[in-house]
């Protein structure tokens, strides 16, 4: 039986068909599923011009389209076109197939008419609200036709709907009943609202109100619904209390084969993780660090990296992830921060004004200080180097807003300890001063970021963050630091494996998955 998952984006090394966390997570799920032999099909959109990049010229920032890392025609196999009706017109959609082992990804590319073709130009970037709405209606209708005509309803064990946009699939394919809904976001952008009139025109869906929250549709059509960490589950229950009987959670994970550095991977193939000595671990970590040092030197040759810890902040640049914590730290505490090298990376959405402001601040501060480096064009390839090669990862979201996060998982699996705010899945992994460091207040609700309360929380959290940074810089390179790094590796690696995640989602395939730990199959 086939597992089908529908997602707005997926992150594969060869294509820029992703914007950030959800896409990379779906890429990990796909790679993990096929490594375990699951008959796994991903349905998504093909974005001809990728997501977004930024060209930096002095203090000027220019928005660019992305060119895919490889020619899509060299890796995607074109199937016969399918046809849907959109806005009352016949639209031709071309399925492009990426095959790997027992699974494949189906990328839908709108061919004609021209207005429909524009819908699949770029990930999450549209000229107007109407384009955004019809982009996901196109994904829903193309998915429905593909499931009916190419896979067959009788061959499917489950259809997983990743994020609220994909809930529209259930309106396009109402005869199928075994849907599950996975919500990945707490912020309002994760709960889009569409006009009821358009949904009635396209699907015959009759709503009571003039606007419809797609998350509500997802919960309504699903037999089961999932949050992506324990805390995300608890906060989601507050936001959507009427669906608590359907809701549970599976904490996200990562595909270790993809994210472990070669030195760490080699070490773990020779020895069980619990048998690794501190000296063996140090050698592997120092070897992993070299790739990041080379990347830093290619950007800023004058940055000193030999006798200073490398602290990494690498995430989507947006307000709730608090990129301003690290810039404030550098500006206000030169006596402390001059003792470290800071590597900053990430991109804002081009319509995120606050995110663009933070990007410009990252650029400004990297030009001002010799020990601060901004790595532009952040993608999966660079993330592998940054998350495995740093000495400490900084994970700073405003508590209550992060659904799960996975960057800290990737670092911990490489023995890189993390300084984290008390949010998302970090609470399930990090024990303060044992395998990493926690700072700040833990909020169990979604606090308005513009409120007086949020400003007070920010100030309190920042002060604790600055103290933790000072402590960590002080212990870096000591026996205590290396013990914490080794414990980060030991305590996380089986818990964060994507095989564990897939086993929890697809327990009816239990014979496929390892029972007592997934490390052996993962690497």
Secondary structure of 348-408 in the HEC alphabet?
A: CCCCCHHHHHHHHHHHHHHHHCCCEEEECCCCHHHHHHHHHHCCEEEECCCCCCCCCCCHH
Closest CA to 218 of 170, 177, 173: 170
Distances (CA, A) of 404 to 319, 323, 330, 423: 16, 17, 27, 7
The pLDDT of residue 399 is 97
Cis before residue 113, ω within 30 degrees of 0?
Answer: yes
Q: Are strands 82-86 and 77-78 parallel, antiparallel or unpaired?
A: unpaired
Residue extent(s) of CATH 3.40.50.2000 domains in the chain: 2-249, 259-496
b/e string for 430-462 if b means 16 or more Cβ within 10 A?
beeeebbbbbbbebeebbebeeeebeebbeebb
What are the two backbone dihedrals, phi and then psi, of residue 240, each rounded to the nearest 5 degrees? Answer: -125, 65
Closest CA to 251 of 233, 276, 224, 269: 233
Q: Could you tell me the end-to-end alpha-carbon distance of the chain, in angstroms, rounded to an integer? A: 26
**Is residue 100 packed enough to be buried (19+ CB in 10 Å), middle (13-18) or exposed (0-12)?**
middle
Instruction: Provide the greatest CA pair distance for the chain.
Output: 68
The tens-digit pLDDT sequence of the chain (523 residues) is 899 999 999 999 999 999 989 999 999 999 999 999 999 999 999 999 999 999 888 778 888 889 999 999 999 999 999 999 999 999 999 999 999 999 999 999 999 999 999 999 999 999 999 999 999 999 999 999 999 999 999 999 999 999 999 999 999 999 999 999 999 999 999 999 999 999 999 999 999 999 999 999 999 999 999 999 999 999 999 999 999 999 999 999 999 999 999 999 999 999 999 999 999 999 999 999 999 999 999 988 877 778 899 999 999 999 999 999 999 999 999 888 899 999 999 999 999 999 999 999 999 999 999 999 999 999 999 999 999 999 999 999 999 999 999 999 999 999 999 999 999 999 999 999 999 999 999 999 999 999 999 999 999 999 999 999 999 999 999 999 999 999 999 999 999 999 999 999 998 655 554 443 444 444 5
Measured on CA atoms in the order 220, 222, 228, 234, is the torsion positive or negative? positive
Residue 254: CA count within 13 A, CB half-sphere: 25
CATH class of 259-496: alpha beta
Question: Please, which residues bridge with residue 106 across strands?
Answer: 43, 97
- Please give the Cα distance from 18 to 123 (Å, whole number): 6
CATH fit for domain 2-249, picks 3.40.710.10, 3.40.50.2000, 3.30.200.20, 2.40.50.140: 3.40.50.2000
Closest CA to 496 of 28, 35, 37: 28
- Please give the Cα distance from 168 to 161 (Å, whole number): 9
CB 179 within 8 A of CB 225: no
CA dihedral (342, 350, 226, 494) in degrees, to 10, reads -30
Joined tokens for residue 37: 């032999």
Distances (CA, A) of 20 to 179, 221, 406: 25, 27, 11
pTM, rounded to two decimals: 0.95
Measured on CA atoms in the order 92, 93, 96, 102, is the torsion positive or negative? negative
- Please give the Cα distance from 59 to 406 (Å, whole number): 31
CB 19 within 8 A of CB 123: yes
């Amino acid at each position: 039986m086939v597992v089908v998952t529908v997602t707005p984006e997926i992150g594969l090394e060869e294509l820029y068909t992703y914007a950030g966390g959800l896409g990379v997570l779906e890429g990990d799920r796909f790679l993990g599923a096929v490594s375990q032999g699951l008959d796994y099909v991903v349905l998504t959109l093909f974005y001809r011009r990728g997501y977004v990049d930024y060209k930096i010229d002095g203090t000027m920032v220019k928005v660019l389209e992305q060119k895919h890392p490889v020619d899509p025609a060299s890796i995607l196999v074109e199937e016969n076109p399918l046809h849907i009706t959109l806005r009352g017109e016949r639209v031709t959609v071309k399925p492009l197939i990426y095959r790997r082992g027992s699974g494949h990804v189906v990328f839908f590319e709108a061919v004609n008419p021209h207005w429909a073709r524009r819908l699949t130009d770029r990930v999450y970037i549209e000229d107007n609200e109407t384009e955004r709405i019809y982009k996901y209606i196109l994904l829903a209708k193309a998915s429905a036709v593909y499931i009916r005509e190419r896979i067959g309803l009788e061959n499917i064990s489950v259809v997983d709907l990743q994020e609220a946009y994909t809930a529209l699939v259930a309106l396009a394919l109402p005869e199928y009943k075994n849907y599950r809904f996975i919500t990945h976001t707490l912020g309002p952008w994760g709960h889009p609202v569409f006009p009821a009139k358009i949904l009635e025109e396209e699907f015959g869906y009759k709503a009571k109100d003039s606007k419809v929250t797609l998350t509500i549709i997802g919960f309504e059509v699903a037999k089961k619904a999932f949050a992506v960490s324990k805390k995300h589950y608890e906060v989601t229950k507050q936001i959507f209390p009427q669906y608590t009987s359907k809701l549970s959670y599976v904490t996200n994970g990562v595909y270790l084969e993809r994210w472990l550095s070669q030195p760490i991977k080699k070490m773990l193939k020779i020895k069980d993780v619990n048998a690794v000595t501190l000296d063996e671990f140090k050698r592997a970590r120092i070897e992993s660090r070299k790739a990041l040092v080379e990347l830093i030197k290619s950007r800023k040759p004058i940055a000193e990296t030999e006798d200073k810890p490398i602290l990494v902040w690498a995430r989507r640049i947006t307000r709730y992830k608090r990129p301003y914590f690290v810039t404030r730290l550098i500006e206000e505490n030169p006596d402390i921060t001059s003792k470290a090298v800071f590597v900053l990376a990430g991109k804002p959405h081009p319509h995120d004004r606050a995110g663009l402001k933070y990007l410009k601040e990252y650029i400004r501060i990297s030009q001002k200080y010799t020990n601060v480096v901004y790595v532009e064009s952040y993608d999966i390839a660079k993330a592998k180097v940054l998350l495995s090669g740093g000495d400490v990862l900084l994970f700073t979201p405003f508590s209550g807003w992060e659904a799960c996060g996975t960057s800290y998982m990737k670092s911990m699996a490489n023995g890189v300890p993390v300084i984290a705010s008390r949010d998302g899945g970090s609470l399930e992994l990090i024990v303060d001063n044992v395998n990493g460091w926690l700072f700040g207040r833990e909020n169990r609700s979604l606090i308005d970021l513009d409120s007086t309360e949020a400003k007070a929380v920010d100030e309190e959290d920042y002060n604790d963050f600055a103290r933790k940074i000072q402590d960590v810089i002080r212990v870096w390179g000591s026996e205590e630091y290396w013990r914490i790094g080794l414990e980060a590796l030991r305590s996380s690696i089986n818990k964060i494996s994507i095989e564990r995640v897939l086993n929890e989602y697809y327990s009816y395939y239990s014979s496929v998955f390892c029972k007592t730990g997934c490390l052996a199959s993962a690497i």
